[in-house]
Amino acid sequence: MSIGQSRNTVLANVAQQASALLLLLAVPNLLPVEHFAEVVFIGVVLSFTRFSDLGLVLVYGRDMPRHHSLNEAVEIDLWNRTIFWFSIMGGAVAGGVAAAVMYARFGAFVDAVVVALLPPLTALISTYVAMASVRSDFRAYRNSQVGLSLSRLLAIPFVFVFGLIGWLVAQVVSFLLVVLRLGIHWIPKPARPD
């Protein structure tokens, strides 16, 4: 890893930690105790959605740099399609389960619908980051992670004005801002049936 790549990774990590610290200091003080308990509950439920791709992204991250170094375009395309669409579908299933758990526990339908959007959006950004990382495009990695970290700070004014639903909507808005910035040109087309 070159110095420039290391610098990009460090900048992304510093931005993530700084925004997380600001959110940690602000959100608990802006929400009532029962709403903050829901935030923690949602965080725990969503932490399980990391496994919605069944570990395929980890295999992708280990195997793909070799294919990129050998310029194996067909293999790269197959892997990119597989990882992207499998992650999105797994995220959609995980979002449905997380929403059902949220609704069963708290009975808030709108909150549950917003929670359902988070895992597929997380999968979208995570797949982009994985694809950039295996190409050694650490500038794209840095830009997406810094953008996500900064946009997550929208949660502070959203929580101040709207409470818990503001926190949930801010999560979706932060993902959508990054997705809009990335565009759709990088998304692999789904495979066509034979």
pLDDT in tens, 151-186: 999 999 999 999 999 999 999 999 999 999 999 998
Distances 106 to 35, 85, 99, 110, 165 between C-alpha atoms, Å: 10, 31, 10, 11, 13
Burial class (CB in 10 A: 0-12, 13-18, 19+), 45: buried
Q: Per the domain annotation, does 72 fall within a domain?
A: yes
Question: Which residues neighbour 92 within 8 Å (Cβ) at sequence distance 6 or greater?
Answer: 119, 120
Q: Per the domain annotation, does 114 fall within a domain?
A: yes
Residues 37-85: pLDDT tens digits? 888 888 888 888 777 888 888 889 898 999 988 999 999 999 999 999 9
Closest CA to 131 of 79, 172, 179, 174: 79
Domain with 155, as residue range(s), is: 3-182
Q: Per the domain annotation, does 81 fall within a domain?
A: yes
Distances 52 to 6, 47, 101, 146 between C-alpha atoms, Å: 29, 10, 16, 24
Q: Per the domain annotation, does 43 fall within a domain?
A: yes
Q: Per the domain annotation, does 193 fall within a domain?
A: no
Q: Per the domain annotation, does 188 fall within a domain?
A: no
Q: Per the domain annotation, does 190 fall within a domain?
A: no
Which amino acid is it at 20?
A
pLDDT of residue 117: 96
Residues 114-159: pLDDT tens digits? 999 999 999 999 999 999 989 888 888 899 989 999 999 999 999 9
Q: How many domains does the chain have?
A: 1
pTM of the model: 0.86
Q: Per the domain annotation, does 191 fall within a domain?
A: no
Does 36 score more than 90 pLDDT? no
Closest CA to 38 of 106, 99, 128, 100: 106
pLDDT of residue 2: 64
- The angle subtended at Cα 54 by Cα 51 and Cα 58, nearest 5°, is 90
**Mean of all residue pLDDT scores within the chain:** 89
- Residue 93 confidence class, pLDDT cut points 50, 70, 90: very high
Closest CA to 41 of 82, 99, 109, 84: 99
> The tokens 């917003």 sit on which residue?
114
